[in-house]
Amino acid sequence: MTQVFLASRNAKKIEEMARILREHLPEIEVLGIDDVEGYEEPVEDQATFEGNALLKARAGYAATGLPSLADDSGLCVDALNGMPGVLAGAVPVFAEIDQTLCLDPQSVQKAITPKTRAVLVVHMCGAMAQIDALGDLCRRHHLTLIEDAAQAAGATFQGRMLGTFGKAGCLSFDYVKTITCGEGGALLTDDEKAYRLAQAFTDHGHDHLGADRGSDQHPHIGTNYRLSELHAAVGVAQLARLDHILDLQRRHKAILKEGLAALGRLAFRTLPDPAGDSATFLSFLLPTEDEARQSAKALAAAGVDGCFYWYDNNWHYHRKWDHIKTLVSPGRLPIDRFGYGTDLTKIALPQSDAIMSRTISMLIKLRWTPEQVRDRLARMKSALA
Ligand SMILES: Cc1ncc(COP(=O)(O)O)c(C=O)c1O
């Protein structure tokens, strides 16, 4: 398999960042810009990262050709995402999540119609969806699989990095992600056409085939979602720490999870491959919604920070995302051309609600000392007992 990173020129730090990132994808051969027919100055190891994961995902849609299919093509997404598809011109069709906190393959199967073109899966909170089952489903139905691995840098399924299973995948390096370069991220794809489309889309439509910027052609319009060299300089240093960060997170999480499991009261998020979890979050489920709400309050009162009850939160879950459901936009959206075909304010996702209303996700931090981990566990146990 050939794995391609977005490319641009004269970006030494970005190249270095891409080279280090590739070291995490050892099984993958990289197609550099020098392999692209028509390129005038072969340059080794070029790579571009984009400035914004949402729009990275959007570039992924552009890359997969969805806009050209856009006349009411369906896109299957979960309750935690959907906007990039809307921006790219697709109509989001929501499916349920399961206890992986990611798309439920069975629900996706039911949501597929003759108009469905793609499935967008979000690897939520640092760990994997049932990506093998979703991949099989997409192959059977000839659908494009797109992965949002924004929160899951370094996470793997059966040894393979999340974001490399579908036609395109994205990572975010914004300031709250596993590694950060301030803002930015990467788009991964194994498809040369997708690579070239996305590369141009993120840089004003430049084809990057000319000897200099002024001699480039512009096959289509584009944006300026580029990562800067300054950001990449931070990214280089952060990527060098990725393995250490994952190791620390996994150790902290294992202690807390084992201690909380002993309470016998909690269920945990299902991990299709626990070894590949990046362990950025510990997500646990209380028996009922009331108990989850009370527990979230009790944890806060006990000084246990970083615990998110997404169900009541104003982001990352559809319930309170009215701006997305009503599609309020400063300008016309691509799908305004043909109507949405569905009223997003009326979507009902009872299975997702039943899971999310009982789920609390706690951030796993790097700087905790062993004493702080022990202290946190003790406080959590008494708050959740
Ligand atoms: C699942 C998911 N997708 C996309 C994004 C957007 O990432 P960025 O801030 O790099 O645009 C985020 C960021 O919070 C995210 O959590």
Q: Which residue among 87, 172, 183, 234 has the greatest number of ligand 1 atoms within 8 angstroms of its CB, and so is best to mutate?
A: 172
Among the ranges given (90-94, 127-131, 154-158, 305-309), the one the predictor scored with the smallest mean pLDDT = 90-94
Ligand 1 centroid to Cα of residue 150, in Å, is 5
Q: How many CA atoms does the CB half-sphere of 333 hold within 13 Å?
A: 23
Is it the case that residue 358 has pLDDT exceeding 50? yes
| Residue matched to tokens 């050209």 | 68
Residue-level pLDDT at 2: 34
Q: Which of 20-29, 134-143, 197-206, 227-236 has the highest mean pLDDT?
A: 134-143
14 or 147: which carries more pLDDT confidence? 147
Ligand 1 centroid to Cα of residue 216, in Å, is 31
Torsion of CA 377, 383, 384, 385, to 10 degrees: 100
Residue-level pLDDT at 10: 56
**Mean model confidence pLDDT for the chain:** 81
197 or 288: which carries more pLDDT confidence? 288
Ligand 1 centroid to Cα of residue 259, in Å, is 31
Is it the case that residue 377 has pLDDT exceeding 90? yes
Is it the case that residue 369 has pLDDT exceeding 50? yes
- The protein residue with its alpha carbon nearest to ligand 1, atom 13, reads 150
Is it the case that residue 8 has pLDDT exceeding 60? no
Quote the percentage of the chain above a pLDDT of 90: 45
Atom of ligand 1 nearest to the CA of 184: 10
Provide the pLDDT confidence category of residue 276 given band limits of 50, 70 and 90: very high
Torsion of CA 245, 249, 252, 254, to 10 degrees: -130
Q: Read off the pLDDT of each residue in 335-348 and give the average, rounded to a whole number.
A: 76
Is it the case that residue 3 has pLDDT exceeding 50? no
Ligand 1 centroid to Cα of residue 321, in Å, is 15
Domain ranges of the chain: 2-240, 242-384
Reported as a single tens digit per residue, the pLDDT across 191-249 is 778 778 877 887 888 888 877 888 889 998 888 877 788 888 898 899 999 999 999 99
Is 56 assigned a catalytic role? no
Establish whether residue 125 lines the binding site of ligand 1, counting it when its CB lies within 6 angstroms of any ligand atom.
Answer: no
Residue-level pLDDT at 155: 96
- Token pair for 16: 């270095």
Reported as a single tens digit per residue, the pLDDT across 69-117 is 333 344 555 544 455 566 667 778 889 999 999 999 999 999 998 988 8
Total count of residues recorded for the chain: 385
Reported as a single tens digit per residue, the pLDDT across 170-190 is 888 888 899 998 888 888 877
Q: Which residue among 49, 50, 52, 54 has the greatest number of ligand 1 atoms within 8 angstroms of its CB, and so is best to mutate?
A: 54
Establish whether residue 172 lines the binding site of ligand 1, counting it when its CB lies within 6 angstroms of any ligand atom.
Answer: yes
Residue-level pLDDT at 338: 66
Establish whether residue 53 lines the binding site of ligand 1, counting it when its CB lies within 6 angstroms of any ligand atom.
Answer: yes
Establish whether residue 361 lines the binding site of ligand 1, counting it when its CB lies within 6 angstroms of any ligand atom.
Answer: no
Residue 65 to residues 56, 126, 191, 339, Cα–Cα distance (Å):
14, 28, 12, 20
Is it the case that residue 267 has pLDDT exceeding 60? yes
Is it the case that residue 34 has pLDDT exceeding 50? no
Provide the pLDDT confidence category of residue 49 given band limits of 50, 70 and 90: very low
Establish whether residue 54 lines the binding site of ligand 1, counting it when its CB lies within 6 angstroms of any ligand atom.
Answer: yes
Q: Report the distance separating Cα 271 and Cα 6, nearest Å.
A: 30
Ligand 1 centroid to Cα of residue 182, in Å, is 13
Architecture of domain 2-240: 3-Layer(aba) Sandwich (3.40)
Is it the case that residue 41 has pLDDT exceeding 50? no
Annotated active-site residue in 56, 167, 177, 257: 177
CATH code 3.10.105.10 for 242-384: no
Atom of ligand 1 nearest to the CA of 56: 11
Contact call for residues 172 and 178 (beta carbons, < 8 A): no
The edge-to-edge listing of strands for the beta sheet with 359-363 is 267-268, 281-285, 359-363, 307-308
Establish whether residue 178 lines the binding site of ligand 1, counting it when its CB lies within 6 angstroms of any ligand atom.
Answer: no
- The protein residue with its alpha carbon nearest to ligand 1, atom 1, reads 150
Atom of ligand 1 nearest to the CA of 124: 1
